[in-house]
């Protein structure tokens, strides 16, 4: 069910193919282990990578914002 194309998506973007409710994180972290342990392990790895990298994406976005405001490209 979990494909590599979804592995690089943020949790909210990844919910569309599976029709998750709005409490995506709760579903993935608390309910999924009771439903499918193997899928939960895969999902947990993706969420952990996303959490580890999000500060980098935020820094890049800020850098691009200020480069754009300064007229640099």
pLDDT tens-digit series, residues 5-64: 555 656 556 555 556 555 787 888 888 999 999 999 999 999 899 888 888 888 888 888
What tokens were used for 24? Answer: 């995506």
Structural contact between residues 1 and 41, judged by C-beta atoms closer than 8 angstroms: no
pTM over 0.85: no
In the numeric block, the tokens 């850098």 are attached to 63
38 vs 3, residue with greater confidence? 38
Structural contact between residues 50 and 11, judged by C-beta atoms closer than 8 angstroms: yes
List the domain boundaries for the chain.
21-69
């Amino acid at each position: 069910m979990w494909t590599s194309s979804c592995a690089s998506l943020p949790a909210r973007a990844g919910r569309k193919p599976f029709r998750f409710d709005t409490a995506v994180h709760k579903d993935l972290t608390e309910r999924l282990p009771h439903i499918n342990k193997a899928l939960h392990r895969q999902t947990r790895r993706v969420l952990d990578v996303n959490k580890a990298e999000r500060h980098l994406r935020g820094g890049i976005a800020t850098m691009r914002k200020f480069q754009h405001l300064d007229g640099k490209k």
